[in-house]
Structures are given as structure tokens and as C-alpha cells.
Amino acid sequence: MDTDTSEEKRSSACDRKPEIAYPCLWFYTVIGKDPELIREAIITACTPFPVQISPSRSSSRGAYWSFTAELEVKDEAMRLEIYQSLVSHPAVKLVL
């Protein structure tokens, strides 16, 4: 008999890491104020691996821009290293 409440099931599901089969395509959404600097940040973070960068959105007043970066990541270490490089770049405000 399952005695876990739905709240306990939800919290335990949130605590688990997702199972990701590597290598796989990974997408980062990168947001910042200067579109050229955002592109440079993505290229720098992903070098030497090929990355496809496509514009995603801009705010209604053009103050913020977002780009989607798509590339094949070989393992979790690579995925996290690229993420850390992006979030630490001064031109990047947010990475999803």
C-alpha cells in the first residue's frame, strides 16, 4: 500500500535529477541587453563545439533580447560548464 501523500510525491519528484541520455541536443535560452554581446557570449561558451544560434524574442521596447543556442552536449559536465560560462558572462542577464 502506498502511504505517501500527493504532496510528498510531488516534493520527492522535484528533488530527483532528470534522467538525460547523452549525447543529446540541448537548448539554452540566453537573455541580455545587447544582441551582439549575447551572440559573442554564446559562441565563447560553446567553443570549440558547433552551435546554432537563433533569435528568440525581444522586449516590446527592445531593451532585452533573447536567443536560443542549440548544440549537442556529450555529457552533464559539458552541459553544466557551458551553462556556468553563460551565466557568468557580464552581458548575460538570464539563462534558461
Task: Write down the domain spans for the chain.
Answer: 20-95
How confident is the model over 16-75, as pLDDT tens digits? 777 899 999 999 999 999 999 999 999 999 999 999 999 998 888 889 999 999 999 999
Please answer whether residues 67 and 30 qualify as being in contact, where contact means their C-beta atoms are separated by less than 8 angstroms.
yes
Of 37, 47, 32, the closest CA to residue 81 belongs to 47
Output the pLDDT for position 31: 97
Rounded to whole angstroms, how far apart are CA atoms 43 and 13? 34
Q: Is the pLDDT of residue 80 over 90?
A: yes
CATH class of 20-95: alpha beta
Q: What stretches of 1-96 show up as alpha helix (H) in DSSP?
A: 6-15, 35-46, 76-87
Give me the sign of the Cα torsion angle 60, 94, 72, 16: negative
Output the pLDDT for position 60: 86
